Structure 1
Amino acid sequence: MIDIRFGPQVCGELNTGATREWLVPDGRGGYAMGTVSGLRTRRYHGLLVVAGETPATRRMGLVGLDPAVTLPSGARVRLGAHEWSSGAVDPRGFELLEQFALVDGVPRWRWRIGDVVIEREIAMAHGRSCVAVVHRLVSGGPVRLDLAAACTWRDAHGERRADGPTPRMEPAAGGAVVEGAYRLAGPDWTPEGQWWLGVRHREEAARGLNPDEDLWYAGRFAGALERPGDTVSVLAWADDLADEPPAATALVEAARRRNRDVVAAAKPADPVEATLALAADAFVVRTAAGPDVVAGYPWFGAWSRDTMTSYEGLLLRTNRADEGRELLRAYAATLSEGMLSNTADTGRVEYNTVDATLWFLHAVSRHVTVTGDTDLGDELLPALHAVIEAHLAGTRYGIAVDPADGLLTQGGPPDTALTWMDARVYGVPVTPRTGKPVEVNALWVNGLAGLAELTELTGRDATALWGLHTKASTAFRKRFPAPVGWLHDVVDAPAPAYPLGGAPHHDDDLLRPNQLLAWSLPYAPLEPDEATLRRITAGLFTPLGPRSLSPDSPGFVGRHRGGPAERDGAYHQGTVWPWLIGPLVDAYRRAGLPTDDLLVGLEGHLAEYGLGSVSETAEALAPHAATGCPFQAWSVAELLRVRRAG
């Protein structure tokens, strides 16, 4: 894996150390997460974040363990870090950090106080809501280490205040059980019980959200570090509270071994691919219903569009086809009226995308092509044919095949946004794409051909499917090229002067990256076009991937900042989306153009924001600061996929 480590000039400066984040997942959708500096900058940062029945229903448990060292001289040095609602940052333990490193995916901090050096490592037990925090004396001593346990029990998206009920604490061997939900265990536990008022999260303030909460100081652990190699460790776990996990040091070593095994199983060609293989592992989780994909950390759950777009990179390019097979079967069981369910982060199951089902067709086709698993193709074939039939007949939200040209049209009530550009502000879509979007129809053409080939593999007749494919691809080649020198983003869109469903239509020729799928997919409707691709690149490309709208277009927003309305308004109006590097590279390769230079910025980004991973989004204007989730599934998946395919 690539070497990710920082010295005191990064660790000790809030503008650098507090903007780089680490993630340790538990394989179930829960995690531990924080910053290089140790300062919690998000409401989502904590040592034990517990997934519920689905990854979306997470709760924050153990927030932090603040270390304080008593030196032989009797001086007490605090190594933690908090920002308060007053704006003060106290304590400032990051100023004593001499190094942060990711070692086989395990974060390690190294504080130096004169000749005393102490390391901290954090790992989670894979498949269990359990975190291990190990402190080790590296040099100097003897010293005493105190660890103050800051706790809560709340929805991961919210906050808890002192004006509500006091957390319920029950004694347990070596520590306590908090709110009957999770248990703490370690050496020399002393219960305390006090609110820490006004802890501030600067990233939430920047996002226009409530930045403050109160934390419960539940108590402290303590132990002596007399000679180098001595450890003081704490465990926290939220499942089967009576079943004590293995020793914390053993869990850390087990996490390292597993991470090395995950990387080895992926057979990476170089350290970048090894890093991406481990990053991909964070998103593949196992729930009570089977394997699933977390769209992004720290706030997303499972979304079918993200899952299917990410499928090949996360599961096939990492040699996890057995899990992929199980996942595809489970998702197929959710099909209704020809549409794949979209499990919302609210916990509701909804059917509200036009493209997730088409990405599902693509994922199944790629699975069978890459693995040769024709048995799965044969098993799912009736469901896949039912998808086509439902789209021909028409399904929810006006999704239907236009009998005149064989292209797929969509658009329900004015407040719906069914493509991946689905941001809404005050209930109104920011990028309304009612009509026939270009990537939706590229996926439709691709899906028809992929299903036709799959049908023939099983010995069935695919004449009707090839007929639909020919009609749609012929219409695509006729309808989508625009006089401006690239493809229309939407054709047959309702004209602005007319209500939804009104008579006249217009074709939207704003320069967006959605058209890349018209050249990138395995059964893409268009042949490579170097001149067009170069125009698109000139207008959209940044070091972190394509912009969602060219800077000279009306409505372009260069910065992805502010409150929810401002951020959602910019989300698809220029903001960079790293996942689109996949379609861009594929299109370039099909055109015979060089691609290595397209990946340099994203490879460097692996040590800039979400460490060892790729962010959800970035700003459209230089220096293209990363935004959104620091750890995003389809961003990682597409970068890994095109690197491994090159």
Structure 2
Amino acid sequence: MIDIRFGPQVCGQLTSGATREWLVTDGLGGYATGTVSGLRTRRYHGLLVVSGDTPASRRVGLVSLDPAVLFPSGARVRLGAHEWASGDVDPRGFELLERFDLADGVPRWRWRIGDVVIERELAMTHGRSGVAVVHRLVTGGPVRLDLAAACTWRDAHGERRADGPALRVEPVAGGAVVEGAFRLAGPDWVPEGQWWLGAHHREEAARGLHPEDDLWYAGRFSGPLERPGDTVSVRAWAGDLAAEPPAATEVVTAARRRNRRVVAAARPADSVAATLTLAADAFVVGTDRGPDVVAGYPWFGAWSRDTMISYEGLFLCTGRADEGRELLRSYAGTLSEGMLANTADTGRVEYNTVDGTLWFLHAVSRHVTVTGDTDLGEELLPALRGVVDAHLAGTRFGIAVDPVDCLLTQGAPETALTWMDARVYGVPVTPRTGKPVEVNALWINGLAGLAELTELAGQDATGLYRLHDRAVAAFRERFPAPTGWLYDVVDAPAPAYPLGGAAYHDDDLLRPNQLLAWSLPYAPLEPDEPALRRVGAGLLTPLGPRSLSPDSPEFVGRHRGGPAERDGAYHQGTVWPWLLGPYVDACRRGKMPVDDLFVGIESHLTEYGLGSVSETADGLAPHAATGCPFQAWSVAELLRVRRKIR
């Protein structure tokens, strides 16, 4: 894997150490996450964040475990870091960090206090909600180490305040149980019980959200570090509180061993692929319903569109085809009226995408093509044919096949059904009603893939091919625009038109959605080098394509500010790294060079979410990363296209 290691010039400064984030996951949707400096900058940061009934229903438990070194002289040096509502940062333990590294997916900090060096490692138990934190004396000593446990028990999206009830902390052997929800265990537990008021989260403030939280100082652990190699460890876990997990050092060793196995199973070609393979592992989670995909950490849950776009990269490029097969079967069971369920972060099952189902057709086709698993193709064939039949008949939100040209149209008032689905005050920013270019590329791709699956099952695919050919012919006639690229939407309702004017128009804004018309396995168009060069010139950045060209009057170059500002910019110029996948595929099919397209995004692996790829970035230079630091489809698409060309 790539070397992720920082010295004091990064660790010891808030401008650098607090903007790089690490992530460790438990395979269930829970996690531990924070910054290189140790400063908590988000409400989501914590050492034990527990997944609930769905991957999105998470609760923060153990917030921090603040070390303090006690010397024989009586001197006491605090190594933690907190920012407060007053603006103070206290303590400032990051100023004593001499190194942070991420080795085999395990974060490790090293503090130096003169000749005393103390190291911390942190890992989670895979398949169980629990974290282990190990502190080891590297040089110097003897000293004593205190570990102050700051706790809460709240929804990960919210905060807890001191004007509510204090946390219930019940003593048990070797530690305490907090709120009856999670247990702490370590040496020499001393209960405390007081509020730490006004913990400030600077990233939440920057995102226009409430930035303060109150923390409950539940107590502290303490242990001696007399000679190099001695350790003081703490474990925290949820679930079955009576069943203790393995020793903390064993948890760390097991995590490293498992992470190496995950990488080796994918047989990566180079260190970047190895890093992306381990990043991909974080998004594949086990649930009561079988495997699922977390769209992004630290705040997203499972979304069907994200899952299906990510499918090939997360499962087929990482040696997880068996899990993928189980996932596809599970998702097929959610089909209703020809639409795939979209289980949003609320946990509610909704049917509100036009493209999620089409990406599902693509994922099944790719699974069968890559693995040769024709049995699954035959098993799912009736459900997939049902998708086409429902679209021909018409389904929710005006989604239907136009009988004239066999293209797919969609849209209903106040809906945004494509991946560009942001809303501001309930109003879609880019509704894209009509016939979007990528939706119809996916429709055509899906018809061809389904026809192939039908033939593999020994059944007649004549009708599917006839429908496919009519749609391709219409696509080739309708979507090329005089601008030299493709229309983003055709037959879009005109927002306003004079008496006698046209009720519909074709939208020629330069957007990246058209890339799918050249990139998919059964794309309706052969790559057009002049058109691709125009798209690249207008949209490409070091982290991937923008969602809108900068010369558009509606372009927004910074994905910043409060929720309304960010949602307004989300698809109006913001960069989306996942789109590098379709761009690379289109260029590769057009015999255009692609190797130099990865320089910026590979460097990004050490800039924001360590070892991973962000959800978004600013449309204007220097294209600073925004959104979720760890995003499934960003990782999956980079992994997929790099695997194909290297």
When normalised by structure 1's length, the TM-score is 0.99
- CA deviations on 1:149-194 (whole Å, 9 max, x unpaired) are 0000000000000000111111111000000000000000000000
Which secondary structure does the structure 1 equivalent of 2:215 belong to?
strand
Residues 471-490 of structure 1 correspond to what in structure 2 (within 5 A)?
471-490=470-489
Residues 466-505 of structure 1 correspond to what in structure 2 (within 5 A)?
466-497=465-496, 504-505=503-504
Q: Tell me which amino acid in the other structure corresponds to 2:568.
A: G
Partner of 1:84: 84
Q: Tell me which amino acid in the other structure corresponds to 1:80.
A: G
Partner of 1:623: 622
Partner of 1:49: 49
Preserved CA contact (<8 Å) 1:72 1:141: no
**Inter-partner Cα distance in structure 1 for 2:190 and 2:511:** 59
- CA deviations on 1:456-511 (whole Å, 9 max, x unpaired) are 00100000000010000110000000000000000000001069xx9710000000
**Inter-partner Cα distance in structure 2 for 1:529 and 1:240:** 59
Partner of 1:193: 193
Which secondary structure does the structure 1 equivalent of 2:112 belong to?
strand
Residues 165-564 of structure 1 correspond to what in structure 2 (within 5 A)?
165-413=165-413, 415-497=414-496, 504-564=503-563
**Inter-partner Cα distance in structure 2 for 1:102 and 1:72:** 32
Which secondary structure does the structure 1 equivalent of 2:263 belong to?
helix
Partner of 1:592: 591
Residues 101-140 of structure 1 correspond to what in structure 2 (within 5 A)?
101-140=101-140
Q: Tell me which amino acid in the other structure corresponds to 2:317.
A: R
- CA deviations on 1:113-168 (whole Å, 9 max, x unpaired) are 00000000010000000000000000000000000000000000000000001111
**Inter-partner Cα distance in structure 1 for 2:109 and 2:615:** 26
Which secondary structure does the structure 2 equivalent of 1:67 belong to?
strand
Partner of 1:632: 631
Partner of 1:581: 580
**Inter-partner Cα distance in structure 2 for 1:201 and 1:177:** 26
Q: Tell me which amino acid in the other structure corresponds to 2:613.
A: V
**Inter-partner Cα distance in structure 2 for 1:122 and 1:631:** 18
Displacement of 1:412 in angstroms is: 1.2
Which stretches of structure 1, 4 residues or more, deviate above 3 A after TM superposition?
none
Q: Tell me which amino acid in the other structure corresponds to 2:124.
A: M
Q: Tell me which amino acid in the other structure corresponds to 2:270.
A: D
**Inter-partner Cα distance in structure 2 for 1:326 and 1:380:** 12
Q: Tell me which amino acid in the other structure corresponds to 1:34.
A: G
**Inter-partner Cα distance in structure 1 for 2:326 and 2:384:** 16
Displacement of 1:66 in angstroms is: 0.4
**Inter-partner Cα distance in structure 1 for 2:638 and 2:19:** 22
Partner of 1:98: 98
**Inter-partner Cα distance in structure 1 for 2:619 and 2:16:** 21
Preserved CA contact (<8 Å) 1:11 1:17: yes
- CA deviations on 1:332-391 (whole Å, 9 max, x unpaired) are 000000000000111110000000000000000000000000000000000000000000
**Inter-partner Cα distance in structure 2 for 1:585 and 1:299:** 29
Q: Which runs of 5 or more residues in structure 1 are unaligned?
A: none
**Inter-partner Cα distance in structure 2 for 1:589 and 1:226:** 60
Q: Tell me which amino acid in the other structure corresponds to 1:202.
A: R
- CA deviations on 1:564-602 (whole Å, 9 max, x unpaired) are 000000000000000000000000000001100111111
**Inter-partner Cα distance in structure 2 for 1:64 and 1:122:** 12
Displacement of 1:73 in angstroms is: 2.4
Preserved CA contact (<8 Å) 1:613 1:631: yes
**Inter-partner Cα distance in structure 2 for 1:5 and 1:507:** 50
**Inter-partner Cα distance in structure 1 for 2:317 and 2:606:** 22
Displacement of 1:528 in angstroms is: 1.1
Q: How many residues align?
A: 643
Partner of 2:70: 70
**Inter-partner Cα distance in structure 2 for 1:560 and 1:359:** 27
**Inter-partner Cα distance in structure 2 for 1:363 and 1:34:** 33
Residues 599-618 of structure 1 correspond to what in structure 2 (within 5 A)?
599-618=598-617
**Inter-partner Cα distance in structure 1 for 2:429 and 2:599:** 31
Which secondary structure does the structure 2 equivalent of 1:22 belong to?
strand
**Inter-partner Cα distance in structure 2 for 1:573 and 1:617:** 12
**Inter-partner Cα distance in structure 1 for 2:224 and 2:472:** 72
Which secondary structure does the structure 2 equivalent of 1:557 belong to?
coil
Preserved CA contact (<8 Å) 1:297 1:631: yes
**Inter-partner Cα distance in structure 1 for 2:71 and 2:253:** 29
Partner of 1:19: 19
**Inter-partner Cα distance in structure 2 for 1:593 and 1:226:** 62
Q: Which runs of 5 or more residues in structure 2 are unaligned?
A: none
Which secondary structure does the structure 2 equivalent of 1:558 belong to?
coil
Percent identity, please: 84
**Inter-partner Cα distance in structure 1 for 2:419 and 2:313:** 18
Q: Tell me which amino acid in the other structure corresponds to 1:568.
A: D
Which secondary structure does the structure 2 equivalent of 1:606 belong to?
helix
Q: Tell me which amino acid in the other structure corresponds to 1:559.
A: R
Q: Tell me which amino acid in the other structure corresponds to 1:401.
A: V
**Inter-partner Cα distance in structure 1 for 2:113 and 2:192:** 27
**Inter-partner Cα distance in structure 2 for 1:533 and 1:56:** 38
Preserved CA contact (<8 Å) 1:494 1:503: no
Which secondary structure does the structure 2 equivalent of 1:50 belong to?
strand
**Inter-partner Cα distance in structure 1 for 2:219 and 2:502:** 69
Displacement of 1:303 in angstroms is: 0.1
**Inter-partner Cα distance in structure 2 for 1:53 and 1:607:** 32
Q: Tell me which amino acid in the other structure corresponds to 2:365.
A: S
**Inter-partner Cα distance in structure 1 for 2:475 and 2:173:** 68
**Inter-partner Cα distance in structure 2 for 1:288 and 1:133:** 28
**Inter-partner Cα distance in structure 1 for 2:148 and 2:476:** 65
Preserved CA contact (<8 Å) 1:62 1:152: yes
Q: Tell me which amino acid in the other structure corresponds to 1:614.
A: V
**Inter-partner Cα distance in structure 1 for 2:18 and 2:129:** 26
**Inter-partner Cα distance in structure 2 for 1:139 and 1:603:** 35
**Inter-partner Cα distance in structure 2 for 1:503 and 1:409:** 18
**Inter-partner Cα distance in structure 2 for 1:633 and 1:107:** 20
